[in-house]
A = this chain, B = another copy of it.
Amino acid sequence: MESKRVAVVLLSGGMDSAVVLAIANSQGFACEAISFDYGQRHRFELESARRIAGMLGTVGHTVLPIDMRAIGGSALTDDIDVPKNRTGIGESIPVTYVPARNTLFLSYALALAEVKGAWDIFIGVNALDYSGYPDCRPEYIEAFGKMANLATKASIEQGIEFKVHSPLSEMRKADIVRKGVELGVNFALTHSCYDPDGEGRSCGRCDACLLRLKGFVDAGFVDPRAYMD
């Protein structure tokens, strides 16, 4: 029996990365999930990541603490208000931007990939219905991949080519919802909100909630997530 190829999948606890894990599984990869405890305002994301890993199935799930508060510069890690009911999402880069976040996440994923013998890394970035973060764009992902192939022992000694897959890159949020439904993702377990209440209910008004809700409406599904009144 041929053993499955291993892939490292960045799993945030949000809906996009849940669909990416389902896609990687459906492509026959044995998935090593990796999540980060980076001083988010709340822990619901990480709890969601654990549940999603359990629901969809992984061969391992590494949760790494990373200290982004020590660096600062974001509404997601500092005491800056998360903007609500924004119009023009994606037209400029909002205060929820975290400096070099995906670069850090992908760097850890690369390290884990090399140790696990995985040459495929999956990330749920999206450059259509997104907040406008620069490190979600295809040209960024491509540049990271080029750098990765010069960075590691595996690439130099074994000629391994790391590939960073971003299967949602060119998908609209509604397509992501449809794909998730098709692959059996239980969206009730996914957490998107930047500013949930104490019970983990979503605010419905931050960028992440607005993009998510529009995606469900456009796809013709009801979001099973709990929202504040």
Chain A residues within 8 Å of B, Cβ to Cβ: 62, 64-68, 70-73, 92-93, 97-104, 107-108, 110-112, 114-115, 133-135, 137, 139-140, 143-144, 146-148, 150-153, 155-157
Contacts and interface: CB of A to CB of B under 8 A. Distances in A.
Nearest to A147: B143
Contacts of A108: 71, 100, 104
A40 to B, nearest CB: 15
Copies per complex of this chain: 2
Contact of A144 (B92, B147, B152): B147
A89 to B, nearest CB: 15
B134 A156 contact: yes
A115 B103 contact: no
Nearest to A72: B115
A104 to B, nearest CB: 5
A87 B99 CA distance: 42
A188 to B, nearest CB: 30
Contact of A100 (B101, B114, B157): B114
Contacts of A66: 66-67
A111 B107 contact: no
A102 to B, nearest CB: 7
A38 to B, nearest CB: 11
A111 B39 CA distance: 15
